[in-house]
């Protein structure tokens, strides 16, 4: 087990550097000088320009810039924006908003998704099953921003169930955005859980249990539900990173002052440090959650062991 974790952590290293370097290189390759863009129409004195280039390492070759950046990152320094604000400070408030949003959506996915999937699987072919299947296909197909605006008009404006803009409180301001952000995941989890449970209910060990006279409730609860959740857990692991990143769109719709909004502005201002900082953290979250998921497999299905 310990050995497995170490190997996995070592495998993460090239992926982490590769992804962050790729993003860094792409931001670096953006045309135009960000310092000049910052100054607007007035030409900057060359001395100021050079000093700023120097301060932000803009004249170094790409790989040196990246090296300096990663060096700082490993010491917990996310760098600073072109206006001199430390990126860590800029992002710290916004992280909490995005994290609250993503976690709420994640809980929705887990609870609503699994519940819908299990109910549909147990009543296979019935009305509920048909509704779940049809509804989830529809939810998966509708682009999240169309769904978001529609939900905002109907549930927020016309029915007045939710505030239509951010009021800063959890859960009030987060429920509708989280439902919208998590809608795709809820639908996907429901379908995964349904398919997986149906398949497992046909397994030999279920037939054995049935013929031994084990109660249906116990067959489902003890024999099948736990191992049916493996694909769901895999998906939920991958999806946490997606939720954090997908928050760009949802935060835009509901005006949540989260990280997505910030990154989006920063990309347009060519604030490379902010963009790379956020993406690096997202990639890190994504990799660690995936490792956690792999370790969870062993708990969910004793047949899987990491030696």
Partner 1 sequence: MVEAIAAPPTGEVEPISQRGSLWQDAWHQLRRRVTFWLSALILTVAVAMAVFPGLFTSLGPNEGCNVRRARVRPSDAAIFGFDNQGCEYWSQVVYGARPSILIGLAVTVFSLLIAIVLGLLAGYYGGWVDGLISRLTDIFFGIPFVLGATVVLIAFPERGIWAMTLVLVLLGWTTMTRIMRGQVLAVKDTDYVRAARGLGAGDLRIMRKHILPNAIAPVFIVAMLNVGNVISGEATLDYLGVGLQFPEVSWGLQLNVARSFFFEFPHLLIFPGLFLTATVLSFLMLGDVVRDALDPKLR
3-state SS, 53-77, equals HHHCCCCCCHHHHHHHHHHHHHCCC
Should residue 19 be labelled a site residue for partner 1 when binding is judged by CB under 8 A? yes
Among 64, 138, 255, 302, binds partner 1 (CB under 8 A): 138
Determine the Cα–Cα distance for residues 207 and 34; give it in Å rounded to an integer.
67
x/- mask, partner 1, residues 147-166, rule CB under 8 A, reads --xx--x---x---------
CB 80 within 8 A of CB 225: no
Distance (Å, rounded) from C-alpha 266 to C-alpha 264? 5
Q: Which of 18, 45, 221, 302 binds partner 1 (CB under 8 A)?
A: 18
The reply on whether position 52 binds partner 1 by CB under 8 A is no
249 near partner 1 (CB under 8 A): yes
Distance CA 142, CA 139 (A): 5
Q: Is 58 in the site for partner 1 (CB under 8 A)?
A: no
Q: What are phi and psi of 293, to 5 degrees?
A: -65, -45
Select from 150, 167, 151, 226 the least CA-distant residue to 193. Answer: 226
The footprint of partner 1 on residues 173-232 (CB under 8 A) is: 199
Confirm or reject binding of residue 145 to partner 1 (CB under 8 A).
yes
How far is Cα 297 from Cα 287, in angstroms, rounded to an integer? Answer: 16
3-state DSSP assignment of residue 86? strand
Nearer to partner 1, 92 or 255 (CB): 255
CB of 144 to partner 1, least distance (A): 7
Is position 92 an interface residue for partner 1 (rule: CB under 8 A)?
no
Q: Give the angle 121-126-131 at the CA atoms, nearest 5°.
A: 80
Shortest distance, position 280 Cβ to partner 1, whole Å? 10
* Identity of the residue, 56 or 254, whose beta carbon is nearer to partner 1 in the bound complex: 254
Query: Could you say which of 26, 37, 62, 64 contacts partner 1 (CB under 8 A)?
Result: 26
98-106, 122-130, 146-154, 168-176 -> range binding partner 1 (CB under 8 A)? 146-154
Instruction: Rank residues 193 and 244 by Cβ distance to partner 1 and give the closer one.
Output: 244
Minimum distance between the CB of residue 18 and partner 1, rounded to whole angstroms? Answer: 4
Residue 288 as a binder of partner 1 (CB under 8 A): the answer is no
Least distance between partner 1 and beta carbon 75 (Å): 23
Whether the Cβ atoms of residue 263 and residue 99 lie closer than 8 Å to each other: no
22 is a site residue for partner 1 (CB under 8 A)? yes
Beta carbon of residue 215, minimum distance to partner 1 (angstroms, whole number): 27
Task: Say if CB 27 and CB 276 are below 8 A apart.
Answer: yes
Count other Cβ atoms within 10 Å, centred on residue 137: 12
Q: In this structure, how many other beta carbons lie within 10 angstroms of the beta carbon of residue 163?
A: 15
CA distances from 208 to 118, 201, 227, 246, 247 (A): 21, 11, 17, 44, 46
Ordered alpha helix ranges (H), 202-271: 204-211, 216-218, 225-228, 230-254, 259-268
Minimum distance from CB of 149 to partner 1 (Å)?
6
Closest distance to partner 1 from the beta carbon of 133 (Å)? 9
Residues lying near partner 1 in the complex (CB under 8 A) are found at: 14-15, 18-19, 22-23, 26-27, 29-31, 137-138, 140-146, 149-150, 153, 157, 199, 241-242, 244-246, 248-249, 252-253, 263-264, 267-268, 270, 275, 278-279, 282-283, 286-287
């Amino acid at each position: 087990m310990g050995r497995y974790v170490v190997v996995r952590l070592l495998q993460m290293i090239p992926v982490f550097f590769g992804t962050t370097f790729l993003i860094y290189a792409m931001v670096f390759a953006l045309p135009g000088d960000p310092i000049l863009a910052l100054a607007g129409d007035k030409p900057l004195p060359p001395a100021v320009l050079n000093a700023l280039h120097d301060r932000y390492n803009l004249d170094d070759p790409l790989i040196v810039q990246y090296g300096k950046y990663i060096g700082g990152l490993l010491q917990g320094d996310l760098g600073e924006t072109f206006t001199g604000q430390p990126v860590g400070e800029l992002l710290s408030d916004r992280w909490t908003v995005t994290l609250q949003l993503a976690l709420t959506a994640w809980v929705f996915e887990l609870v609503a998704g699994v519940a819908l999937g299990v109910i549909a699987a147990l009543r296979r072919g019935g009305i509920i099953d048909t509704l779940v299947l049809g509804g989830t296909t529809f939810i998966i197909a509708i682009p999240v921003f169309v769904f978001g605006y529609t939900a905002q008009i109907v549930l927020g404006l016309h029915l007045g169930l939710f505030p239509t803009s951010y009021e800063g409180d959890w859960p009030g301001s987060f429920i509708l955005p989280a439902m919208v952000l998590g809608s795709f995941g809820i639908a996907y989890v429901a379908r995964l859980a349904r398919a997986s449970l149906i398949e497992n209910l046909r397994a030999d060990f279920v037939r054995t249990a049935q013929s031994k006279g084990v109660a249906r409730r116990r067959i489902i609860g003890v024999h099948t539900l736990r191992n049916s959740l493996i694909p769901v857990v895999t998906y939920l692991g991958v999806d946490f990173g997606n939720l954090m990143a997908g928050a760009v769109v949802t935060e835009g719709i509901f005006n949540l002052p989260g990280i997505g909004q910030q990154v989006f502005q920063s990309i347009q201002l060519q604030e490379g440090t902010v963009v790379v900082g956020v993406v690096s953290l997202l990639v890190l979250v994504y990799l660690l959650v995936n490792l956690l998921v792999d370790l969870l497999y062993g708990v969910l299905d004793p047949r899987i062991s990491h030696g």
